[in-house]
Amino acid sequence: MEPIYLDHNATTPLAAEVSKAISDALDLWGNPSSLYEKGKMAKNAISKAREQIASMINSHPSEIVFCSGGTEANNNVIWSVLESFDKWKESTGDKHILAHVITTSVEHVAVERPLKYWQDKGRLEVTFVPVDPSTGAVTVDAIMHAFRPTTVLISIIMANNETGVIMPILEIGRALDKYRQERKSSSRLPLFFHTDAAQGIGKIKVDVKELNVDFLVIVGHKFYGPRIGALYVRSLDNDVEYYPMLFGGGQERGYRSGTENTPMIVGLGQAAEIVIKNLAADQNHFRLCRDELECCLEKLFGDSILFNLRVGNRLPNTSSVCISRDGIYNGHELLSRCPFVCASTGSACHSGSKPSAVLIASGLSEEKARSTLRLTVGRSTRLEDVRKAAEAIKKAYDSMTCS
Amino acid sequence: MEPIYLDHNATTPLAAEVSKAISDALDLWGNPSSLYEKGKMAKNAISKAREQIASMINSHPSEIVFCSGGTEANNNVIWSVLESFDKWKESTGDKHILAHVITTSVEHVAVERPLKYWQDKGRLEVTFVPVDPSTGAVTVDAIMHAFRPTTVLISIIMANNETGVIMPILEIGRALDKYRQERKSSSRLPLFFHTDAAQGIGKIKVDVKELNVDFLVIVGHKFYGPRIGALYVRSLDNDVEYYPMLFGGGQERGYRSGTENTPMIVGLGQAAEIVIKNLAADQNHFRLCRDELECCLEKLFGDSILFNLRVGNRLPNTSSVCISRDGIYNGHELLSRCPFVCASTGSACHSGSKPSAVLIASGLSEEKARSTLRLTVGRSTRLEDVRKAAEAIKKAYDSMTCS
């Protein structure tokens, strides 16, 4: 049987146009810093991709920094904020003040782990704001409640990769405005608002002007693009300070050294182009397939299935389902019994046997987290695929019940 | 006229086999961390590439960490050494001791700049050992003379990208053995030996067992591979400590988080495969073309040409030539008058108008540095290409003389 891929939050295939763009751009091998034609051609291709990425999120090309991926971008944002804080601290002469960061308890590890690293190093304090267990989302109030005079960074995942829950980025941004104004006129301590939009791009509308974020992380392989990323920095050079963590040849206007990965950058631009054109249609298609999947599962499983956090604002492609009776079923075991259904129990980075920390932080019991499957549809998913997948999962479940 | 590419130290085209390998591997889009077949296929492809890279430098696959490129790898080595030093310092209880690093005055900026950054931050002291102006190379004695009880890192470029001068890595490694033994038995302060082999790989034999280095940086686009890199760490996990600077999903056994760029990694492996097979033939071809180029230039320019640092151990593909009479010629202007000769005056990262700092540090006067061209041949260079290029440069030079 042909595999049915229902793990689009782990990674997406390359769109055919993106594959072609990358393959074609392998010829653009000139060093973009070189002054002759071959170099200029590569440079121009990168400029075009920068415009495409900027356009996708309603920003300006000068606000885009290409980098190796979401992990690097998120790590660099935190690094940069620490640099800004250090410079501010130097200007005040107060050596003992410690930077404070507000984040959620359900961040991707590429935000959580660097924050914990710097916390362990004694360079910052972090408040991990728990999500409301009834929705899986943080509330604006809970975030604002954590605010301190020393808060320099609020970092909130746009949509959780495992639960699909969308966070109130827009509302948090609005609530922050007051503090931003205050800071500017009083302490002048910088205050940054960052969102890891890895799971948002290509699935929901992402408009940086509306969101009013300072940093936004873009990850190619989550929206049918290549395995690189880009960082949006609001009014880079003029308003928001940004400091590189990689030092070298000064590429990307000094914000990200390293000879540019031209073909992948071109592919990223192409992937953005497709999102610009197809987002609305994609969203409808995702929702249709995901809802059909949930409907089929509901029919097949009846009382044995629970849809985690289906109440609030969710990504249109994501279903987090807990299949269990008397708590004896394990998601990993279930999936291993229907190998042609490509899905996961949590984020791909943690395909181990432990129950997902994000699910537990989202309010699920350990038992429920262990019985949860993450099923995420994509552009190529067909209605018959999700029906077949639901049946295969039921069959696998029955085989476990009987054995 | 067809452009003649003589800037292979800036970047190389992709080998046809590498292009094909990358294009084919665009289909390996599964997340290598996923447990189903698509994920495993990607994981296996990465394992194969790791074996190829390891084999190219006579190391073990477990000693290879893939990353986004040379800049990241070099930055991470320095970061890691600082982490090791901090851990050692904690164990001694001495808060005021400062790490010391020995490097050369002709490093690539991806080593020089992070070192200067950490020096400015007060985290380490650096001795930039000048090269012998008669050879452009550092001497073992000069490096050892800089050694201090607090030296934790010796970082020496394998071969300079601008002059092509090869550094005595083997000899420095041997001379360090004594200090390594001493450290192990007395202070236990770690001591690391690192080389940025960006320009060495694919042009000269690189065998980590012979060289006895702890860290070695590999950069794909300098040897007909893609724009990613890899780091060799000697006996990673067992002997040499290595700490990541990017935190996240724990890919690359925790040493480099971020979803793996499978197609580019596969391409890097393929590029290594070609180096393994063709190094000897490539070297002969490079030398033949480079020598022919120098011979033609000599005939055409007579007294008006000087070959910089031609006396010692040079990369077989690199010619650093100073074309000047009465110091009135500028390399940039000269190149702009023969646009179909693709070459540079220094490293691609610095294609500005200032004379190259590396050339000046290599003992050239500012005037000579300003009049220098870097001409670097490659696999596809033909003898007729270098002859034509020499003639074109002469014609451009004459046009400057007349005007």
Q: Which residue of A has its CA nearest to B336?
A: A36
Highest mean pLDDT among A109-118, A368-377, B362-371 belongs to: A109-118
Mean pLDDT of all residues in A364-374:
91
Nearest to A318 by CA among A396, A374, A235, A383: A374
Measure Cα distances from B1 to B290, B386, B399 in Å.
21, 14, 18
Give the pLDDT of chain B (403 residues) as one tens digit per residue.
789 999 999 999 999 999 999 999 999 999 999 999 999 999 999 999 999 999 999 999 999 999 999 999 999 999 999 999 999 999 988 888 999 999 999 999 999 999 999 999 999 999 999 999 999 999 999 999 999 999 999 999 999 999 999 999 999 999 999 999 999 888 889 999 999 999 999 999 999 999 999 999 999 999 999 999 999 999 987 878 999 999 999 999 999 999 999 999 999 999 999 999 999 999 999 999 999 999 999 999 998 899 999 988 999 999 999 997 665 578 888 999 999 999 998 876 665 668 899 999 999 998 899 899 999 999 999 999 999 999 999 999 999 876 5
A22 in contact with B at a CB cutoff of 8 Å?
Answer: yes
Residue closest to B80 by CA, chosen among B231, B209, B252: B231
- ipTM of the complex in this document: 0.96
Distance from CA of B90 to the nearest CA of A (A): 12
Catalytic residue at B296?
Answer: no
DSSP A210-279: HHT-SEEEEEGGGTT--S-EEEEETTTTTSS----SS-SS-TGGGTS-S---HHHHHHHHHHHHHHHHHH
Among chain A residues, CA nearest to B69: A258
Question: Where exactly does CATH 3.90.1150.10 map onto chain A?
Answer: 4-12+279-402
Q: What percent of chain A stands above pLDDT 90?
A: 86
CB contact under 8 A, B35 and A335: yes
| CA–CA separation, B217 and B53 (whole Å) | 11
Q: A114 contacts in B (CB within 8 Å)?
A: 246-248
Residue numbers in B near A37 (CB within 8 A): 3, 339, 342
- CATH fold, domain A4-12+279-402, is Aspartate Aminotransferase, domain 1 (3.90.1150)
Amino acid making up residue B145: H
Which of A 52-71 lie inside 8 A of B, CB atoms? 67-71
Contacts of B63 (CB under 8 A, 6+ apart): B54, B208, B232, B233, B234, B235, B236
What residue type is B56 in one-letter code? M
Cβ within 8 Å of A, B 205-224: 221
Tell me which chain B residues have a C-beta less than 8 angstroms from the C-beta of A7: 31, 34, 36
Model confidence band, residue A349 (pLDDT cutoffs 50, 70, 90): low
CA distance A351 to chain B (A): 6
Q: What integer pLDDT is reported at residue A352 of this predicted model?
A: 61
Task: Tell me the β-bridge partners of B323.
Answer: B305
Contact B247 A72 (CB under 8 A): no
Q: Is B16-274 CATH 3.50.50.60?
A: no
Q: Which residues of B touch A257 (CB under 8 A)?
A: 71, 109-110, 113, 349
Where in the sequence of chain A do the CATH 3.40.640.10 domains occur?
Answer: 16-274
Q: Is B186 exposed, middle or buried (0-12, 13-18, 19+ CB in 10 A)?
A: exposed
